[in-house]
Amino acid sequence: MFKKKQFITIFTVGLISFLLGSLFSVTAITTDKGGGPFDKIWEAIYGLEERQDRAEVSLDEIWKAVSNLEERLTALEEQMDLLSQAELEKIVTEFLKTTDVPNGGWDGTVEVKEIYDHKLGGKVMIVKYTTANAGHPGFFWEAIERHIAVITLNMRGEVVSAFCVWGNFHDGKIWDLPNQRWLEDLE
């Protein structure tokens, strides 16, 4: 079967392989503090699993926060829907008192012509009000001016923008009510 020389060669190669394998195992054990060569790979895998678990917990917390915000947003929208026209008129009246409108002989009344839901939340209102400016007392001159304004409320019922888009003497210009200035040409 095998010749003596072949047997000795195979036996020697096997013995050398066994001894080298043992040597590498002992070296790995003593340098890795008792671990095999794959222990670091397993440690990395376990570390990734721990990080994934923490990320999932963080993601769950984010979803809970988003759900909480959605609930609060829904509550604010419902609150905004419950505001009556009289309450909206009161909000607009209080806002107009903070602008230059009272300087023009305004009697403090507004008429809400239309109310729209804003797609980002809140309301957009078209309101009408009238000012009466007295001119020189000797000439008995009086200017009655009707105004139409577009006023936007956020979900908390606060005015976020207001523009007087039409007035008898506006000459086609738009008046920025909060900033009390004419908007320049929009072209």
CB atoms within 10 A of CB 122: 21
Beta carbons of 153 and 87 less than 8 angstroms apart: no
Total residue count of the chain as it appears in this document: 187
CB atoms within 10 A of CB 147: 23
C-alpha 114: how far from chain center: 28
User: pLDDT, tens digit, for every residue of 38-64?
Assistant: 677 777 778 888 888 888 888 888 889
Written as one letter, the residue type at 54 is R
Kindly report whether the global pTM for this prediction surpasses the value 0.85.
Answer: no
What is the distance in angstroms between the CA of the first residue and the CA of the last residue of the chain?
103
d(CA 71, CA 77): 10
User: pLDDT, tens digit, for every residue of 123-157?
Assistant: 899 999 888 776 545 555 567 788 899 999 988 88
Domain-by-domain residue ranges, the chain? 85-182
